[in-house]
Homo-oligomer: A and B are copies of this chain.
Amino acid sequence: MHITAALEELSQLPGLRFSVAHSDRDAHAQSETYFAPCPPEAVTWPQNTQQVSDILQICHRHGCPVVAWGAGTSLEGNALARHGGVMLDFRDMDQVLAVHAEDMDVVVQPGILRQALNEELRATGLFFPVDPGANASLGGMASTRASGTTTVRYGSMAENVKALEVVLADGRIIRTGSRAAKSAAGLDLTRLMLGAEGTLGLITELTLKLHGQPEAEAAATCSFDALEDAVNAVITTIQSGIPMARIEFVDAATTRAFNAWAGVELPEKPHLMVEFHGSDQAVAEQSQRFGDIVADFNGADFKWAVKTEERSALWAMRHNAYYACLALQKGASALVTDICVPISNLAQAVEETQRDIAASDLNGPILGHVGDGNFHAILLIDPERPETLQVAKALAGRMAERALRLGGTITGEHGIGMGKTGYMEAEHGAGWDVMGQIKKALDPKGILNPGKLYRERDAG
């Protein structure tokens, strides 16, 4: 009933785009992965911060759930309306508000997509580096503390957001951080909101750090006979301090998927995909040092991509790895794992995982941002055979346990969403209670993205 009353009030808010049409609800009910659809009761497309505040005041008064939607590219059902309510789609708040090239920052609205932002920045000589693969919205990337292929060099969202504007559960509007390079002025509310998955407030503006476009860029792929050789080449590269811009691992199964999907003809072996940024001289020096390490681990088939089109094709192939892997098995859905371990334990983590998947009857290509110790298994599920989802969940559970046993984390970058609350106790113990205490302090009615991230009793 509280939802009905909230919807009634929202439908009468002057100037608010609002819909209860089934088509709009269904368009915001699906995730990219295996979760069953969760349609919200209504969808709204706010045009500005004040409208977001107005919506939240109404929903807060009625105790109506509110979930934010960016580009819908998250992999853990992070933006699904698990308990229904109002879906707040930031599609129309997608502007660049200010570029401060001299301070290397940019102020944007949360609905802007990663690729659109970098297109707008092109003429400035600057770029925003965080690259999760998908063409995600910046608000969503902030809310999941996203990272990706370039994090090994440029950091994740945690290192690349200076300031936020946030609307709290009760409609209050706050500003966190500033455009200064650093601050010691009290609690770091910016970092608290990053990764909170819209459970503490909704981000309505972001000030992002930018980086200079490198003078030179070069990318390459190379293959290895054995998975361990590829992984050990990565470990040696990172430990020797070569400032890699990207260093990605794909296993033989992923390579097979690339060949079918992208029409390339890579040897069906484990590969590394790398990129170097810097001055011409620095790129040459880094490439040479990396090449020496690859040779030490019997790497071969070095293919360079120096021209912009060649590099774009290479990374487009990597970014479509998820879809390429799905295409390995007709009609497949997937459970995508995301563990991250200290780099010294990476080889063990990958090998144990590969053995475990091989012992199951699932297809599970492995790939990842190995320079960070982060990798994914794309566990393919046959929707006609529900038991395959159970097998995938068991494999994922053992991966989570493995990550924690090896000093790592259950998620490097995808977040918790609907899929990983079951592992939060194991990772955080009493720290999970502290997260719940903060949630209850800032959203006492539990209206923001309820049913996620916290213990059931704290989650709204």
Contacts and interface: CB of A to CB of B under 8 A. Distances in A.
A315 interface: no
A182 B413 contact: yes
Given A103-B342, A191-B158, A431-B176, A185 B441 contact: no
A415 to B, nearest CB: 5
A430 B373 contact: no
A193 to B, nearest CB: 9
A442 B187 CA distance: 13
Contact of A408 (B179, B212, B374): B179
A226 B183 CA distance: 28
A180 B434 contact: no
A147 to B, nearest CB: 6
Interface in A209-235: 212, 235
Interface stretch (A61-69, A85-93, A110-118, A167-175): A167-175
> Which of A172, A181, A186: most chain B CB closer than 10 A?
A186
| Copies of the protein in its oligomer | 2
B188 A342 contact: no
B342 A183 contact: no
27 contacts: A100-B344, A102-B235, A102-B239, A103-B344, A144-B184, A155-B159, A159-B159, A174-B430, A175-B431, A178-B407, A178-B409, A179-B408, A180-B342, A181-B342, A181-B412, A182-B340, A182-B413, A184-B414, A185-B427, A187-B200, A187-B434, A187-B453, A188-B195, A279-B285, A281-B281, A438-B441, A441-B441
Contacts of A185: 409-411, 415-416, 420, 424, 427-428
A27 to B, nearest CB: 26
A364 B405 CA distance: 54
A441 B181 CA distance: 29
B174 A429 contact: yes
Given A189-B435, A342-B100, A432-B186, A180 B373 contact: yes
A182 B195 contact: no
A181 B420 contact: no
Interface size class of A (residues with CB under 8 A): 35 or more
Interface in A416-460: 416, 420, 424, 427-435, 437-438, 440-442, 453
Nearest to A278: B282
Contacts of A182: 145, 147, 151, 156, 158, 340, 372, 374, 409, 412-413
Contacts of A281: 281, 285
Interface string A54-91: 00000000000000000000000000000000000000
Given A179-B342, A430-B173, A184 B413 contact: yes
Contacts of A145: 182-184, 188
Contacts of A196: 187
A247 interface: no
